[in-house]
Amino acid sequence: MSTPFPAATILGYPRIGRDRELKRALESFWAGRSSAAELRASAAELRAGTRARLGELGLSGAGVPLDFHYYDQMLSIVATFGAVPERFAHLLDAEGKLSLEGYFTVARGKGELAPLEMTKWFDSNYHYLVPEIGPDTPLRYVDSHVVDYLREAVAAAEQGGAGQGEAGGTSAPRPVLVGPVTFLALSKAADCAPGFDPLTRLEELVEQYAALLADLAGAGAQWVQLDEPALVADFADIDRARLVEAAASAYAKLADAASRPRIIVATPYGTARAALPALAATGVEGFALDLVRGEVPGEDDLAALAGRTVLAGVVSGRNIWRTNLEEALAKLEQVRAGVGPQANVVVSTSTSLQHVPYDVDRETQLDPELRSWLAFADQKVAEVGVLARALSEGRDAVAAEFAADAAARASRAAHPGVNRPEVRAAVAAVVPADRERESFEERDAAQRERLALPLLPTTTIGSFPQTTQIRKARAAHRKGELTDAQYEDAMRAEVASVVALQEELGIDVLVHGEPERNDMVQYFAELLDGFTATQHGWVQSYGSRCTRPSILWGDVSRPAPMTVEWAKYAQSLTDKPVKGMLTGPVTILAWCFVRDDIPLGQTADQVGLALRQEIVDLEEAGIAVIQVDEPALRELLPLEVKDQAEYLEWSVGSFKLSTSGVRPDTQIHTHLCYSEFNVVIGAIDALDADVTSIEAARSRMEILPAVGEHGYERGIGPGVYDIHSPRVPSVEEQVELLRSAAAAVNPRQLWVNPDCGLKTRGYEETKAALDNMVAAALQVRAEIESR
Ligand code: GLN
Ligand code: ZN
Single-letter code of the amino acid located at 277: P
Which atom, in ligand 1's list, is nearest to the CA of 627? 1
Best CA proximity match to 498, nearest among 470, 479, 473, 520: 470
Q: Per-residue confidence at 163, pLDDT binned at 50, 70, 90?
A: very low
How large is the average pLDDT for residues 283-311?
Answer: 96
Does 590 sit in the ligand 1 pocket, CB within 6 Å?
Answer: no
Residue 165, pLDDT above cutoff 60: no
Tell me the C-alpha distance between 304 and 277, whole Å. Answer: 7
What's the pLDDT at 167? Answer: 47
Q: What are the CA-CA distances from residue 590 to residues 388, 630, 636 (Å)?
A: 32, 10, 7
Cβ contact 78:129 at 8 Å: yes
Cβ contact 261:222 at 8 Å: yes
Does 462 sit in the ligand 1 pocket, CB within 6 Å?
Answer: yes
Which of 756, 759, 760, 761 is the pocket-test mutation for ligand 1 (most atoms within 8 Å of CB)? Answer: 756
**What would the pLDDT profile of 689-711 be if each residue is shown by its tens digit?**
999 999 998 888 888 999 989 99
Residue 571, pLDDT above cutoff 50: yes
Burial class (CB in 10 A: 0-12, 13-18, 19+), 410: exposed
Residue 164, pLDDT above cutoff 80: no
Tell me the C-alpha distance between 77 and 141, whole Å. Answer: 10
Enumerate the β-bridge partners of residue 580.
626
Cβ contact 600:651 at 8 Å: no
Tell me the C-alpha distance between 757 and 750, whole Å. Answer: 19
- Distance from the alpha carbon of residue 626 to the mean position of ligand 1, in angstroms: 13
Q: Per-residue confidence at 169, pLDDT binned at 50, 70, 90?
A: low
Does 766 sit in the ligand 1 pocket, CB within 6 Å?
Answer: no
- Distance from the alpha carbon of residue 759 to the mean position of ligand 1, in angstroms: 8
> Residue 513 half-sphere exposure, CB side, CA atoms within 13 Å?
23
Tell me the C-alpha distance between 726 and 761, whole Å. Answer: 7
Does 343 sit in the ligand 1 pocket, CB within 6 Å?
Answer: no
| Least confident piece of the model among 152-161, 549-558, 590-599, 745-754 | 152-161
How large is the average pLDDT for residues 531-555?
Answer: 96
Does 581 sit in the ligand 1 pocket, CB within 6 Å?
Answer: yes
Cβ of 440: how many Cβ atoms within 10 Å? 16
In the chain, % of residues over pLDDT 90: 90
Mean of per-residue pLDDT scores for the chain: 95
DSSP 457-482: -B---SB----HHHHHHHHHHHTTSS
Single-letter code of the amino acid located at 761: R
**What would the pLDDT profile of 738-778 be if each residue is shown by its tens digit?**
999 999 999 999 999 999 999 999 999 999 999 999 999 99
Best CA proximity match to 84, nearest among 104, 111, 112: 104
Tell me the C-alpha distance between 637 and 646, whole Å. Answer: 10
Cβ contact 639:231 at 8 Å: no
- Distance from the alpha carbon of residue 269 to the mean position of ligand 1, in angstroms: 27
Q: Which residue has the higher pLDDT, 82 or 679?
A: 82
Tell me the C-alpha distance between 669 and 584, whole Å. Answer: 11
Q: Per-residue confidence at 643, pLDDT binned at 50, 70, 90?
A: very high
Nearest CA to ligand 1 atom 5: 757
Residue 170, pLDDT above cutoff 80: no
Tell me the C-alpha distance between 559 and 526, whole Å. Answer: 11
Cβ contact 43:28 at 8 Å: no
**What would the pLDDT profile of 90-107 be if each residue is shown by its tens digit?**
999 999 999 999 999 999
Active-site choice (145, 415, 710, 724): 724
Nearest CA to ligand 1 atom 4: 757
Q: Helix, strand, or coil here: 98? A: strand
What's the pLDDT at 374? Answer: 98
Single-letter code of the amino acid located at 354: Q
Residue 560, pLDDT above cutoff 70: yes
Which atom, in ligand 1's list, is nearest to the CA of 757? 4
Which of 127, 460, 461, 466 is the pocket-test mutation for ligand 1 (most atoms within 8 Å of CB)? Answer: 461
What's the pLDDT at 161? Answer: 61
Q: What are the CA-CA distances from residue 759 to residues 465, 550, 566, 684 (Å)?
A: 4, 21, 17, 24
Q: Per-residue confidence at 611, pLDDT binned at 50, 70, 90?
A: very high
From start to end of 444-550, where are the E strands? 529-532, 539-542, 545-547
From start to end of 342-434, where are the E strands? 344-349
Question: What pTM value is reported for the model?
Answer: 0.94
Does 754 sit in the ligand 1 pocket, CB within 6 Å?
Answer: no
What are φ and ψ of residue 369, in 5° steps? -65, -50
- Distance from the alpha carbon of residue 178 to the mean position of ligand 2, in angstroms: 29
DSSP 51-66: HHHHHHTT--GGGSEE
Best CA proximity match to 231, nearest among 176, 298, 287, 286: 287
- Distance from the alpha carbon of residue 756 to the mean position of ligand 2, in angstroms: 4
Does 389 sit in the ligand 1 pocket, CB within 6 Å?
Answer: no
Tell me the C-alpha distance between 306 and 296, whole Å. Answer: 15
Nearest CA to ligand 1 atom 10: 757
Residue 248, pLDDT above cutoff 60: yes
Does 669 sit in the ligand 1 pocket, CB within 6 Å?
Answer: no
Does 757 sit in the ligand 1 pocket, CB within 6 Å?
Answer: yes
In the chain, % of residues over pLDDT 70: 99
Q: Is 724 a catalytic residue?
A: yes
Which atom, in ligand 1's list, is nearest to the CA of 581? 1
Does 753 sit in the ligand 1 pocket, CB within 6 Å?
Answer: no
Tell me the C-alpha distance between 10 and 659, whole Å. Answer: 42
DSSP 613-625: HHHHHHHHTT--E
Residue 784, pLDDT above cutoff 80: yes
- Distance from the alpha carbon of residue 670 to the mean position of ligand 2, in angstroms: 10
Counting ligands in written order, the one closest to the CA of 590 is 1
Contacts of residue 762, defined as CB under 8 A and 6 or more positions apart, other chains included, come to 465, 726
